[in-house]
Structure 1
C-alpha cells in the first residue's frame, strides 16, 4: 500500500484529492482482481493434478471393468483422492466467481473514470496533465485509462 501512496503522491500537481481517491480505489480493485485470478488458477491446477493422478493410479493398477467400482468403494485412499479433487474443483469454482465479480467491479470503476475525465480535468491546462496521470497508471499499475474496452 505504501507503493500506491508514493506513486500517487507524485501526481499531486496533476490531480485533486477526490480524483486520487478514485485512482486509489481503482488500484485496490485491480489488486483484488489479480489476487482472485491467482487463487483461481492455483486451485484449478490443484484440481487437475488430483484428478490426473487419480486416473493415472487407477490405470497403473489395471483393474478390470467389473472390479473398479468395488475397489473404489472399498479403499479409503481412492475416496480421499476423489474428495480432494472435488474440494479443489469447488474451491477453484468459488474463486473463479469471486474473480469475475472483482473484474466487473474493476472494469466498472475504470470506465467511470474514463467517462468522467472531462469532469475530473475540466480546464484545458488540466486536460493536458491528464495524459501524465494516464501514463503513470499504465506504467506503474498496468491500468489502461485510455479506452473503455477490456
Structure 2
C-alpha cells in the first residue's frame, strides 16, 4: 500500500509529514510481520493435525505408536515440518514484537510532540483533521497513547 498523505499535506509541514510517513511505514511493517506469524502458526497447526491423524491411523495397524515414530520416514518428515513451522512462527513473532515496539514508540512521540508540531490555535484545529485522516486511511490512532 503506497503512502499517500496528499490529503494531509496542506495541514502539515515537511518534518511532520516525514514523521507521519515513517509512522505509516512502521505500521505496515508491523502488520506484515503479524501476517507472517499467523501464516506460520496455521502451517504448524495443519502439520500437527496431519501428523496426529497419520500417527493414529498407522499406530492402529501396527499397534505401537513408538514403532511408527522410529520406523517410518514420514513421521520424521512431519516432526521436522512441525518443528520448522513452529520455529519460523517464533522467529516472526519476535520480529513482530520489535516492529510493534518501534511503531508504538514513534506513535507516542508524535502524540507527545503535538503541541510543538501544531503550535498555533488555528493549526491546532488542523491537527484534528490530520488525526482523522491517519485513523481513517491507515488505522493509526493518534488520539491516545495506549495500545
Q: TM-score, normalised by structure 1?
A: 0.93
**Residues 49-71 of structure 1: per-residue CA shift (max 9 Å, x gap):** 1011101111122143xx32232
- After TM superposition, the score normalised by the length of structure 2 is 0.94
Counterpart in the other structure of 1:90: 87
Deviations 1:68-99 (A, max 9, x none): 22321121111001100110000000011111
After TM superposition, list the pairs within 5 Å mapping 1:3-42 onto structure 2. Answer: 3-5=2-4, 8-42=5-39
Residues in 2 aligned to 1:13 and 1:84: alpha-carbon distance in whole angstroms: 52
Tell me the number of residue pairs that the alignment of Structure 1 and Structure 2 aligns.
Answer: 145
Write the distance in 1 (CA, Å) between the matches of 2:100 and 2:106.
10
Distance 2:29 2:119 in 1: 30
Which segments of structure 1 move beyond 4 Å, counting only runs of 4 or more? none
In structure 2, what is the equivalent of residue 50 of structure 1? 47
Following superposition of structure 1 onto structure 2, how do residues 118-137 of structure 1 map, counting pairs within 5 Å?
118-137=115-134
Q: Where in structure 2 are there 5+ consecutive unaligned residues? A: none
SS of corresponding position for 1:90? helix
Over the residues paired in the alignment, what is the CA RMSD in angstroms?
1.1
